[in-house]
Each structure stands twice: as C-alpha cells, then as structure tokens.
Amino acid sequence: MHDFDSRLLPTERESHGICIRKYQPSDAAGLVEAAQESIQTVGAWLDWCTPSYGNAQAEAWIAHAVENWDKGDGFAFAVIDATCGDYLGGVGLNQIDHANRSANLGYWIRQSYQARGVGAQAARLAVGYVFEQLGLTRIEIACAAANRPSRRIAEKTGARYEGLVSGRIQLHGRPVDAAIYSITAPSARRSTG
C-alpha cells in the first residue's frame, strides 16, 4: 500500500537546465542513441548497455517503466536537456519498499554529457521528488565499490556513506562489492526509535 495515486503525481521536475520526466514512447530513439555512444563508460557498470541494445529493447523497457510508474512500483525518469530537449540519460527509483518507505536510486548519463554536473543535478531532482511527492523517508544508493563517478554522485547529492557490503551487485555475471550510501528525509532525520 502507498499514500499516493501515482497517475496523479507530477510527471516532471526541472532546475539548472536539467529536466527529469516520466518516460514517453518517443524517448526510444534518444535512449538507443545514448546507449550506443556509451558502451565504454555506461556498459562498464550497467549490464544492459551493450552494442546490441536497439529499438526493440528500448521500446519494451519504456513500456515497462511507464507501467511500473502507473502502479507505483518504480519511478524511472528520462534526463533531458531543458533547453534543447535532448535525451541525456536516466535516473530512477526502484526496489520501493512501501512498508518501510525506502527505495533504491540509480542513474546513468550518456558519455558525451558526462563530467558536466548533469548526473549530480538529475540525482538531486530525483531525491527532491521522492521526499516531496512520494513521502518516502530513505533512499539507498548502492554503487560498485570501484565506480568512482557513481560514488561522487552519491557524495554530491549529500548522501551518507554507510559502508561496504560484499557481493551486493551482479556485474557482468559476477558479484562485486558495493559501497552503500543513504539519504534520509528531513522529517526522518532525528528519529532513532
């Protein structure tokens, strides 16, 4: 059970030239183009990003993301350049635990737009959305321990480092250790009970 009707939630949020919004079927072409240019940097950390990723995969994934959003089971956002409308990557909430009001945050930014602050801004927008619109109180970020850029995003979003856990992430068919970070809602911060 959850406290919101996900079909009535705002579908986008924008700040500092970056927009995050609910996926639309028309994002498929941008998603494929972004994935194809990012095999080296995104494919190193996310198994789905391979040279064979094409329209069929993108369309199926977007349909699944929209269905999950409408059911309140996950909130995947396209990251868009607010000025020109270009597709820049994705940020999203998954593994939502409604009973404990927590979720996992993930993100990726296409290679040609990396290291410009886009990932950190998209993550900040998603965190604001989670606390203000979904009423969750804890966001967890699990990065492969060796994934420095991803860990920097967690740090730049103000997340607290909670430690290393063994074999938490499957990467290219093998378990790898993860660095766990958390962000708690302002309303939950002083509660220890």
Q: Interface residues with ligand COA (CB under 6 A)?
A: 41-42, 45-46, 106-109, 114-120, 143, 147-150, 152-153
Least Cβ distance, residue 78 to ligand COA (angstroms): 14
List the structure tokens of 47: 């198994």
Reduced to 3 states (helix: H, G, I; strand: E, B; else coil), residue 96 is strand
Based on CB atoms, which residue is closest to ligand COA, 98 or 152? 152
Based on CB atoms, which residue is closest to ligand COA, 68 or 150? 150
Nearest residue (beta carbon) to ligand COA: 119
Based on CB atoms, which residue is closest to ligand COA, 69 or 108? 108
Reduced to 3 states (helix: H, G, I; strand: E, B; else coil), residue 170 is strand
What residues contact residue 36 under an 8 Å CB cut-off, 6+ apart?
A: 51, 53
Based on CB atoms, which residue is closest to ligand COA, 118 or 134? 118
Least Cβ distance, residue 94 to ligand COA (angstroms): 11
Based on CB atoms, which residue is closest to ligand COA, 62 or 143? 143
Least Cβ distance, residue 129 to ligand COA (angstroms): 17
What are the backbone angles phi and psi of residue 116, rounded to the nearest 5°?
-125, 10
Residue keyed to tokens 């868009």: 80
- Classify residue 69 by its DSSP letter: H
Nearest-angstrom CA–CA distance, 43 and 169: 15
Least Cβ distance, residue 63 to ligand COA (angstroms): 22
Least Cβ distance, residue 192 to ligand COA (angstroms): 28
Nearest-angstrom CA–CA distance, 50 and 44: 9
Whether the CB-CB separation of 109 and 152 falls below 8 Å is answered with no
